[in-house]
A and B are shown apart, each in its own frame.
Chain A
Amino acid sequence: MRRSFLMSAALPAIAALALAGCASEADTTATDTTPSPTTSQDCSPESLQTLTPGTLTVGTDTPAYPPYFEDDDPSNGKGFESAVAYAVADELGFTSDQVTWVTVPFNKSYAPGDKDFDFDINQISITPKRQKAVDFSDGYYTVNQAVVALEDSPIANATSLAELREAKLGAQVGTTSLDFITNDIQPTQQPLVYNDTNDAKSALEAGQIDGIVVDLPTAYYVTAAEFDNAKIVGQFPAQDGGEQFGLLMAKGSPLVTCVNQALTSLKDSGELQSIQDEWLVGEDAPYFTE
């Protein structure tokens, strides 16, 4: 009963917010980055309903891995996601001093109850099922999955999905990389699943798996900086619109519209692209064929 009451109260509000979001986005794209005067929501730092007024609280997991963060310190502005977070904050009118970071383990980011962050930035892919529990911003990065293997692995020279089917593959738990193995590669052997990319790398080095599936930026990072005998076997062509990383916010967060506006203007001004070019190098890994 309570729920239906809440829902009936909340739905129009959410719908209104969504409409406002669409309208303002359309406006901003039309007038190119300048906030339109008809925007229904005031996105100044004073009027934004952040967790702590005047401060933007941003969450991410620890350890925070390159190339998304550097030196396990999200507040240094280095690394792709750290830079994106500060750019969004700047766009919303917060100085970098007004940005506070909190540690949000991935498993906790979607827990019910009050969130202790305004948005969480942790390479979280937007999927419809997840959107039932939380709100996402628009995507800030379109990510492809890639396979990393040691030079002497049986799949080191694979060029098609079919060649990967017999392989023993590993991935980090909770990632869309794992979903990708199960749903798209559909290997004959059950994949192995690790707590983090470090464990997956140990298993790769120990020869327990033939290859790991990770997102492409991580693939570039580990092959360049962490292995001396590994290579990117290939990447998978993006599927239906591509997989997007989004900023995670509480369901019904009052910030969604403004954050999306900020992202839109970052995209339009080309700043998002230049952040990406700075931190996420190389897009030229070969594509797998079916």
Chain B
Amino acid sequence: MTTPAEAPLEAPVIPYVDPHRRARSKARSRRDALIASVSTVVVFAILGYLVTASPGWPKVQETFFNLDEAVAAWPTLIKAFVLNIKIFLVAEFFILILSLLIALGRGLRAPVALPVRIMCTVYVDFFRGVPTILVILLLGFGVPALQLKGVTNSPVVWGTVALILSYTAYVAEVYRAGIESIHPSQRAAARSLGLSSMQTTRYVVLPQAVRRVIPPLLNDFIALQKETALVSLLGPIEVLRSAQINASANFNYTAYVVAALLFVAITLPLTRLTDWLQRRDTRRRMAGAM
């Protein structure tokens, strides 16, 4: 990665390239592209051959990559996938807010705030350590079994709450890492300009911290997307459960592959978007450095 310190060294080099050198480098990049394509084709051809020429391939293809099964399963799977997306969006919304509060709570330095700090720390320690699956079972089957008046017993609601509790702990730590990575001089400078502690956090620390942690945040989003499948333990039919039902009825795993592709399909654009955000951000910061 380019750090702001290297940027000024790199920038002036470009105008001084002489025409011959440019031609040579063009030829080289053409050659590189050719080599890259040939090597890619050869490697994938060999891999493809090794897999498809193996004695068990027809059987594996029949069981995992069966187009007829995929087409037949598609409508049910896509309908079930809507539930995953709903759970994900709702959970993510609460996670982003709650985890920021927890991270800030853990960062409070005032003596009077010690109980808050303790509570936030205990929360994070506990929910990061406990497997999500247990939180889901406990809330999803345990709370409704209490038969409290006026409290919903919907498995989707409790499953989502469990995911929120679990992931808030992870994401709070990501935020905290970002906040702590901001050099103390930033805070000191802001305070010396007359900003209050709250203003310093809001206008100086957080904007820099959040930018830095976007890639790990996205990691957790993607993990959360996949973990929405755990809610199916409580009964609701989401995409993976739907695939499982399909697989056991037909003794064919193709539906799982289709479900996996659906997950990939929504993850990929998100990954590319963050990559782009990240590059844009680096550019902007470098511009500032110059």
**Digit string of B84-95 for contact with A (CB within 8 Å is 1, else 0)?**
000000000000
Distance between A132 CB and nearest chain B CB, rounded to angstroms: 7
Is residue A6 within 8 Å, beta carbon to beta carbon, of the partner chain? yes
Q: How far is the CA of A172 from the CA of B220 in the complex (A)?
A: 31
Which one of B57, B63, B235 lies within 8 Å of A203 (CB-CB)? Answer: B235
Interface residues of A in 1-27 (CB under 8 A from B): 2-3, 6
Chain A residue numbers with a CB within 8 Å of B237 are 190-193
Is residue B241 within 8 Å, beta carbon to beta carbon, of the partner chain? yes
Distance between A58 CB and nearest chain B CB, rounded to angstroms: 19
Interface residues of A in 161-192 (CB under 8 A from B): 170, 173-175, 178-179, 190-192
User: Is the pair B59, A113 in contact by a Cβ cutoff of 8 Å?
Assistant: yes
Sample (20) of A-B pairs whose CB atoms are under 8 Å apart:
A6-B58, A106-B248, A107-B247, A110-B251, A111-B253, A112-B56, A112-B59, A133-B250, A134-B251, A173-B244, A174-B245, A174-B248, A175-B248, A192-B236, A199-B235, A202-B145, A203-B234, A206-B145, A207-B153, A208-B235
Is residue B123 within 8 Å, beta carbon to beta carbon, of the partner chain? no
Q: How far is the CA of A194 from the CA of B159 in the complex (A)?
A: 14
User: Is the pair A133, B155 in contact by a Cβ cutoff of 8 Å?
Assistant: no
A-binding residues in B (CB < 8 A): 55-60, 62-64, 141, 144-145, 147, 153-155, 232-237, 241, 244-245, 247-253
Interface of B is mostly: helix
Q: How far is the CA of A132 from the CA of B145 in the complex (A)?
A: 42
Is residue A205 within 8 Å, beta carbon to beta carbon, of the partner chain? yes
Given contacts A112-B62, A133-B63, A195-B233, contact A208 B153 (CB under 8 A): yes
User: Is the pair A193, B232 in contact by a Cβ cutoff of 8 Å?
Assistant: yes
Chain B residue numbers with a CB within 8 Å of A129 are 249-251
Distance between B152 CB and nearest chain A CB, rounded to angstroms: 10
Q: How far is the CA of A205 from the CA of B234 in the complex (A)?
A: 13
Distance between B241 CB and nearest chain A CB, rounded to angstroms: 6
Chain A residue numbers with a CB within 8 Å of B144 are 206-208
User: Is the pair B145, A130 in contact by a Cβ cutoff of 8 Å?
Assistant: no
**Digit string of A113-135 for contact with B (CB within 8 Å is 1, else 0)?**
10000000000000101101110
Distance between B146 CB and nearest chain A CB, rounded to angstroms: 9
Identity of the chain B residue whose Cβ is nearest the Cβ of A209 in the assembled complex: B235
User: Is the pair B59, A203 in contact by a Cβ cutoff of 8 Å?
Assistant: no
Q: How far is the CA of A194 from the CA of B237 in the complex (A)?
A: 9
Identify 19 new A-B residue pairs, CB closer than 8 A, beyond the known A112-B63, A193-B245. Answer: A2-B55, A112-B62, A132-B252, A133-B251, A173-B241, A191-B237, A192-B236, A192-B237, A193-B236, A194-B233, A199-B233, A202-B145, A203-B155, A205-B145, A206-B153, A207-B147, A208-B154, A208-B234, A209-B235
Q: How far is the CA of A65 from the CA of B33 in the complex (A)?
A: 61
User: Is the pair A113, B56 in contact by a Cβ cutoff of 8 Å?
Assistant: yes
Q: How far is the CA of A207 from the CA of B232 in the complex (A)?
A: 17
User: Is the pair A130, B235 in contact by a Cβ cutoff of 8 Å?
Assistant: no
Q: How far is the CA of A127 from the CA of B144 in the complex (A)?
A: 37
Q: How far is the CA of A191 from the CA of B242 in the complex (A)?
A: 12
Which one of B56, B155, B241, B247 lies within 8 Å of A208 (CB-CB)? Answer: B155
User: Is the pair A111, B63 in contact by a Cβ cutoff of 8 Å?
Assistant: yes
Identity of the chain B residue whose Cβ is nearest the Cβ of A207 in the assembled complex: B153
User: Is the pair A193, B235 in contact by a Cβ cutoff of 8 Å?
Assistant: yes
Chain B residue numbers with a CB within 8 Å of A6 are 58
- 10 tightest CB-CB pairs across the interface, nearest first? A192-B235, A174-B248, A133-B251, A206-B144, A110-B251, A3-B58, A112-B59, A202-B141, A206-B145, A112-B63
Identity of the chain B residue whose Cβ is nearest the Cβ of A106 in the assembled complex: B248
Distance between B83 CB and nearest chain A CB, rounded to angstroms: 10
User: Is the pair B233, A133 in contact by a Cβ cutoff of 8 Å?
Assistant: no
Q: How far is the CA of A133 from the CA of B236 in the complex (A)?
A: 28
User: Is the pair A112, B147 in contact by a Cβ cutoff of 8 Å?
Assistant: no
Q: How far is the CA of A81 from the CA of B184 in the complex (A)?
A: 70
Identity of the chain A residue whose Cβ is nearest the Cβ of B147 in the assembled complex: A207
Identity of the chain B residue whose Cβ is nearest the Cβ of A195 in the assembled complex: B233
Q: How far is the CA of A172 from the CA of B250 in the complex (A)?
A: 16
User: Is the pair B60, A173 in contact by a Cβ cutoff of 8 Å?
Assistant: no
